[in-house]
A and B are shown apart, each in its own frame.
Chain A
């Protein structure tokens, strides 16, 4: 906001000009929570709070709002701090009586010139599984890595460690790392015992994170486990919803092959966090440090895609290609995940379009907005209008889809074949599961992924013969196929 232009109250509150009274109220409450002088002592931000209050008082009253609107210059199309670009699989939809598909490849990046905001301080909590099965190398590497992270923190970062088995214990309470030596000792003293109850660990981690829920920080919980949690999955997922609402990210890492990957993926997906599979204890360090580095280079903590239902169009599938891979939950409110300063967010969306959605000339695929959450800025960031539509024509075009989309989808298709095999096996249809795996293997061989193809074939064989997966094969296949989506052949990803 330059001081010469009149103050734009809408931009100040981070809402569109056509926002409803309800939306304005919500935006005001969000801003007030961050900026209220009782909570926020940052210099100069009390003044911003007073402006926000003035903006709300004006806009909340329809009469005053009308008067104010009349004084505003026409809306500048986009002054959001993010920009987006969309590639479609086809230039147009075709008029027909059956449903059809459309793919969109979405790139969301920081607007030029806005990247230079300082990296916000972190508020991270490590929730570490210390059940009996972690005994030995696993727990040793986990401890060493926790200490490594502790040492590389900046003075302004808040760090905590929670260890859990059947109950949770706070190993390092949330705080700036004043007494590193003492904290290191506390981490070193962790011993393994008991079973795995993720809920208790997650709840304790949430409590530690909430202690420093001050604005301007990136709040994140990294959950590390090697076992199945029994019966408390649902409460964990509810906790993740709460975390998402408070802008706390959760990332899950599973060690070995005993843990429930579907549950951990879902947990991370709810908050825009990521999930990872750690096949060997020695990979713990590398993956945890990589996660930490991602958190340090965050530009926007999360981007929320909010969309209204469009008649006859279904968002059927959504997948994040970068910065961190992961399937997204196709709901009216999707947490797409972070944008890094040097890595834009890439997402693939799959739409199923019914004949009823085809208008005279165009069809609307999606009407909504992209709202970035940027901790480094005191004010709510202006959302970006996000409307997707395509022309409708009688003929389909023979244009080749964008190469980026083809190459991403060719690999995403493999990942979904794996999902399909999994679902078939779960419902008892082992033959069709084995068939899907065999087809996957064919494509993997064609792409030169010989060793993964072998794993897949072995698993297909096992499914056919003994109607069961090998524990490690199932996860190897899933996460190695997912890793292919990174595009390169970075071998040390898993």
Chain B
């Protein structure tokens, strides 16, 4: 029996959260991911530090981030090992994992489904998905649908949109 320190409800052994009040019963010292609200930032004025449509970093399980050179904003890669990059366009059921519309993606020539970025063990891979304006790593044009290794600090261009990749190893 575990007695909840918050509401004194007796829970079965092995319970992780109190069934009565929802308080955490075990592993409290463990790092628990929490959401940090961006509401405050919005109220203070200006933009939230991260565009709201983009998934926000969840704890420290992020394996890298994308630094948009033009706007200076950073998108964290976490939660899964593969992300498609592109832009959402109205009336088409294409949903890239990371929507770059907010960063003038259309003007920069980013395709709706431009590329995929993924992690394989401690390797990072970038692949152009046959985009209209192509992808470049460090100025070198990539062939479509061929996986290219990606290093920390590489500058990738999706059309004219420049992104620096920051990878954790």
Contact = CB atoms under 8 A, between A and B. Distances in A.
B32 A407 contact: yes
B69 interface: no
A405 B16 contact: yes
Contacts of B82: 342
B89 interface: no
A209 B52 CA distance: 39
B58 A98 contact: no
B149 interface: no
Contacts of B39: 450-451
Contact of A409 (B7, B17, B34, B91): B17
Given A342-B82, A447-B35, A99 B12 contact: yes
A96 B14 CA distance: 12
A56 to B, nearest CB: 41
A377 to B, nearest CB: 23
Nearest to B12: A101
Interface string B141-164: 000000000000000000000000
B16 A409 contact: yes
A152 interface: yes
A352 interface: yes
Interface stretch (A36-44, A225-233, A396-404): A396-404
Contacts of A98: 1, 12-13
Interface in B6-50: 7, 12-22, 24, 26-27, 29-39
A489 interface: yes
Contacts of B27: 400-401, 406
Contact of B55 (A149, A343, A488): A488
A447 B79 CA distance: 18
A154 interface: no
Contact of B16 (A93, A290, A406): A406
Contact of B13 (A149, A290, A396, A451): A396
Contacts of B93: 148-149, 152, 289, 292-293
A449 B12 contact: no
Interface residues of B, number: 40
A66 interface: no
Nearest to B39: A450
A102 B14 contact: yes
B169 interface: no
A460 interface: no
A491 B52 contact: yes
Contacts of B102: none
A405 B37 CA distance: 22
A487 B58 CA distance: 8
B65 interface: no
Contact of B22 (A407, A413, A450): A413
Given A152-B93, A448-B36, A449-B37, A101 B14 contact: yes
Contacts of B53: 491-492
A105 to B, nearest CB: 11
B35 A489 contact: yes
A87 interface: no
A414 interface: yes
B22 A417 contact: yes
B56 interface: yes
B90 to A, nearest CB: 10
B34 to A, nearest CB: 6
Contacts, number: 107
A289 B35 CA distance: 27
Nearest to B92: A152
Given A289-B93, A293-B93, A450-B37, A490 B55 contact: yes
Contacts of A403: 30-33, 59
Q: Which has the most chain B C-beta neighbours within 10 Å: A290, A396, A400, A440?
A: A400
A396 B19 CA distance: 20
A300 to B, nearest CB: 18
Contacts of B30: 400-401, 403, 406
Interface string A407-442: 101100110110010000000000000000001100
A430 B29 CA distance: 35
A490 B58 CA distance: 12
Contacts of B33: 403, 407, 487
Contacts of B14: 89-90, 93-94, 100-103, 353
A26 interface: no
Interface string A134-155: 0000000000000011001000
A290 B88 CA distance: 13
B3 interface: no
B22 A440 contact: yes
B22 A406 contact: no
A439 B21 contact: yes
Interface string A454-494: 00000000000000000000000000000000011111100
Contacts of B29: 400
A406 B25 CA distance: 10
A413 B35 contact: no
Interface of B: 1, 7, 12-22, 24, 26-27, 29-39, 52-53, 55-56, 58-59, 79-80, 82, 91-93, 95
| Among all A-B residue pairs, the 8 with the closest Cβ atoms | A101-B14, A448-B37, A100-B13, A413-B17, A400-B27, A100-B14, A488-B55, A289-B93
16 contacts: A101-B14, A102-B14, A289-B95, A292-B93, A396-B13, A400-B29, A401-B26, A401-B30, A403-B59, A406-B16, A406-B27, A414-B22, A443-B22, A449-B37, A487-B33, A491-B53
Given A152-B93, A289-B93, A443-B22, 19 more contacts: A99-B13, A101-B15, A293-B95, A353-B14, A401-B27, A401-B30, A407-B33, A409-B17, A420-B19, A439-B7, A439-B22, A448-B35, A449-B37, A450-B39, A451-B39, A487-B58, A487-B79, A490-B55, A491-B53
